[in-house]
Amino acid sequence: MKVLMLNGSAKENGNTYLCLCEVGQQLEKEGIEYEIFQLGGTPIRDCIGCGKCSEEGCVFQDDRVNEFIRKAKEADGFVFGTPVYYAHPSGRILSFLDRVFYSGSGAFAFKPGASVAVARRGGTTASFDVLNKYFGISQMPVVGSTYWNNAHGRVPGEAAQDEEGLQTMRNLARNLAWMLKCFEKGREAGISLPETERGSRTNFIR
């Protein structure tokens, strides 16, 4: 089993990365592989609602959206990490995930997901809530911990001093590992995925 993580910070080795590594190290102890996908500081275009998505993903090929979708198809679970900018996730992770989920949502359905937010002080719960919206609309079980999946730190490395934050990350990893193992046992027992209704799209109410 493998968990794909997304570091939504432009700082590849900042506090968001530190927290994702804490999750990953605990996952390895549980016998689960992980990979951290670095969003980095390169430009990321917004979704423009062009409707030209395909089985390959987004029509635009000038960033790493489709690469992430390909990796997501092979992953069993996900953790999305973001720094907090103005009490909100980074704009780049939202632009990235809007296009990922709009063009590749099938890669995520019925796979557990968790979000992690890191801030100097405030805005973590609002950012945490925004990222969890992607899971709710995509039939993804949401993984919790023993507190909101948040940690605090300003300069790179400072989050290592947040003992409760790191404890929360480790407990998150244990919960995610437990859920993945339960799902695997369910598949082995022949439990099928739930039926999904499609077709009804209420665009307005009279």
**Span 132-182, pLDDT tens digits:** 999 999 999 999 999 999 999 999 999 999 999 999 999 999 999 999 999
Answer for the pair 39, 92: CB distance below 8 angstroms, yes or no: yes
Answer for the pair 151, 118: CB distance below 8 angstroms, yes or no: yes
Residue 55: per-residue pLDDT: 84
Residue 202: per-residue pLDDT: 84
CA dist., res. 110 & res. 15, Å (int): 29
Could you give phi then psi for residue 72, rounded to 5 degrees? -65, -35
Residue 206: per-residue pLDDT: 66
Instruction: Report H helices in 9-137.
Output: 15-29, 65-74, 91-104, 124-136
Answer for the pair 22, 5: CB distance below 8 angstroms, yes or no: no
Checking DSSP bridges between strand 33-38 and strand 77-83, what pairing results, if any?
unpaired
Region 57-66: mean pLDDT is 93
User: Radius of gyration over alpha carbons of the chain, in Å?
Assistant: 17
Here the tokens at position 1 are: 């089993």
Residue 137: per-residue pLDDT: 95
What's the one-letter identity of residue 70? R
User: Mean pLDDT of all residues in the chain?
Assistant: 95
- Whether pLDDT at 77 is above 90: yes
pTM, 2 dp: 0.95
Q: Among 42-46, 102-106, 201-205, where is mean pLDDT lowest?
A: 201-205
State the CB neighbour count (10 A cutoff) for residue 166.
18
86-99 pLDDT, tens digit each:
999 999 999 999 99
Query: Which residues are registered as beta bridge partners of 2?
Result: 33
Here the tokens at position 53 are: 């998505």
Percent with pLDDT over 70 in the chain: 99
Could you give phi then psi for residue 74, rounded to 5 degrees? -95, -10
